[in-house]
Amino acid sequence: MSEKKRTKAQEATQAIERIYIAMRHLFNRGFYKPMGVSGRTLREGLLALQPEIYGSIGEDKVELSGLLYVLDRLPNGIEECPIINLTGDEGYQLSNMKSIIPPKRRRNCYRIDKDQMNVEITRGRSDIYDILTHLTFLFIESHKIANRVIINEKGTLTLEWQKFEKIILQEEISNEELEVAMFHSANILGRTFEEVLAVHKALATEEMPNRLLKVIYWLGKLAIDEVLEINKRIILFSPVLRERTGHHMHGERWANRIKRELENQDLLERPVHIISANMHSVMNYLFSKQTITSKKEELNKREVFERLSQPENSKDRKQISDLATNQGMTYLKDVSGTNIDVQIFDLAKMDFDKSYLSAVIDDTNAVLIVMDYAFGEQAFETMDELLKPYKAAKNGPVNLNVHSVSIMGKAGILKGNKGDLMIPQAHVFEGTTDNYPFENEITLADFENEDIEASDGHMITVLGTSLQNKDMLSYFKKSTWNVVGLEMEGAHYQKAIQAASRIRNSINSNVKVRYAYYASDNPLETGSTLASGGLGLTGVKPTYLITEKFLKQIVRQAI
């Protein structure tokens, strides 16, 4: 790699370090004005880095794909609020306020009044970093709008903005007026009508068919107020959040509930296999053969799983869930604040003869603990607490009989396409010298005959997927680090597993570990970043292939 390229990668790394130092400083301070002097380091760091996920953040035109990505991860209406208060779990659920949950982030948010949005942070520092980078992007884009519509120092606004505002503030907008507003918004954003129309359709919901135009208006309105020094937006961090962050309070509650349930079902002494995955793939793989394939149409495994992923087939999913419950599954909806649901499977109660595992095993007394995806540093908190002894057991402290930990995740791939597999041999923690080599029970050989692209190498556990740019990712790909992908949880999980098995000795030192990732995006390819949309059916094949390899190894281990 050339010296110039290496320098750019180093500059990107330094920009990330500056951003995180700034965020920690502002968090400790307790408040800041994102577009004021206090927020300058964050803004300058993000503009210097120009992460792939935020597209044209460094240009004058407003970035629409990045806007769509960010709005899916922030509460509806946050663009209208000049006051954003990040809080801990402070009992808002006991009020009459209805929580607002973003479509692609499990956060409880509460609109306190027309000016204030409270965002509940219960998943640790990664959650704080995530939302602050998204908000910084949002505010930078909002000032692009203000700069295009403010004509002079007196605060005179363009006629186009005035017409746009008049239409948007109406209670009802006709189709003709809507089209006129979209023409105006295209000019205000520096984008084509075609681009605006595409994002308008993508963001529209039944309740808010014109959400994009409303968002554009309120982003512009609050930015205009800031530029004209009428009112400044502010981000607050509540005292409770600042006090509790990093103390594992939610993770401890979460883990103790699981252990209490194991004790209540007399499962504490049984062999335990922990799986970090979603809340459907393990259950569907274990029980769908008894339901879907018993119907008239003959479906192969992949067709079954594709069918179950379709929104319209909720009856099939309900049937599988009911069957799983009758054959030893317990579902624990989260009440701890981690937002991580759990399924416990007592495999001794399962009818293996009617499952896809019938050729592998007849029966086992193993117990599966399937936990939903953690988020960043939260992976360490939850796994660390889960692997600790259960101190509240009736007969004194008990160590869980953990035989294996299996981690399935989505990751950005550097040498392939969406849906491809990555099999890590080590996790390298971005921005530190920490690295976690391990013996992965999953290898490339497991997927040799599966008609799917797979690569092995090392994974970078990044501080945030929204803070990666091409120069740095290219360095990871081409250097001796031999990086195949990036994700946010691997090093955190492995740190907890190694602490429990090698230092604290709370679980067996020979615990088996399995890691396998499928590519949700390729951040090095334009049009293939996370901002380009989800996997859809492309994700079904890798998800269930990984699930199958995990389960086959687990039940063979249980023989």
For residues 69 and 10, what is the distance between their CA atoms, to the nearest angstrom? Answer: 27
Determine the Cα–Cα distance for residues 215 and 75; give it in Å rounded to an integer.
12
- CA contacts within 13 A on the Cβ side of 281: 25
pLDDT score of 533: 55
Give first-to-last CA distance, the chain, whole Å: 50
Mean pLDDT of the chain: 91
pLDDT above 90 coverage of the chain, percent: 72
Q: CB neighbours of 12 closer than 8 A, spacing ≥ 6?
A: 49, 469, 471, 472
Mean of the pLDDT values across residues 397-417? 94
**pLDDT at residue 295 in the model:** 58
Q: What is the pLDDT of residue 275?
A: 98
* pLDDT tier for residue 75 given thresholds of 50, 70 and 90: very high
Query: Domain 246-555 adopts which CATH fold?
Result: Rossmann fold (3.40.50)
The pLDDT value recorded for residue 293 is 60
In sequence order, the β-bridge partners of residue 86 are 119, 237
Nearest Cα to 544, choosing from 556, 552, 532?
A: 552
| pLDDT-based confidence at residue 375 (cuts at 50, 70, 90) | very high
pLDDT at residue 153, rounded to an integer: 84
pLDDT greater than 70 at residue 242: yes
- Amino acid 523: pLDDT: 79
Most confident of 113-122, 303-312, 534-543: 113-122
Most trustworthy range by pLDDT among 4-13, 118-127, 312-321, 506-515: 506-515
Q: Output the pLDDT for position 534.
A: 57
Contact between residue 367 and residue 265 where contact means Cβ atoms under 8 Å apart:
no
Total length of the chain: 559
Q: What is the mean pLDDT of residues 218-235?
A: 95
Q: What is the mean pLDDT of residues 500-524?
A: 93
Confidence of residue 1 (pLDDT cuts 50, 70, 90): very low
pLDDT tens digits, residue range 114-125? Answer: 999 999 999 889
- Average the pLDDT over 452-481 and give the result: 85
pTM of the predicted model as reported, rounded to 2 decimal places: 0.89
pLDDT of residue 2: 47
CA distance 526 to 503: 44
- Are the C-beta atoms of 552 and 361 separated by less than 8 Å? no
Q: Where are the domains of the chain?
A: 8-242, 246-555
Asked which of 59-73, 137-151, 157-171, 523-537 is least confident by mean pLDDT, the reply is: 523-537
Is pLDDT at 33 greater than 90 in this prediction?
Answer: yes
Q: Measured between alpha carbons, how far is 150 from 412 in angstroms, rounded to an integer? A: 40
Q: pLDDT higher for 496 or 18?
A: 496
Across the range 23-40, mean pLDDT stands at: 94
Calpha distance 66→466 (Å, rounded) = 10
The rounded distance, in Å, linking the Cα atoms of 14 and 82 is 30
Q: Given a cut of 70, is residue 3 above it in pLDDT?
A: no
| Residue 508 pLDDT greater than 80, yes or no | yes
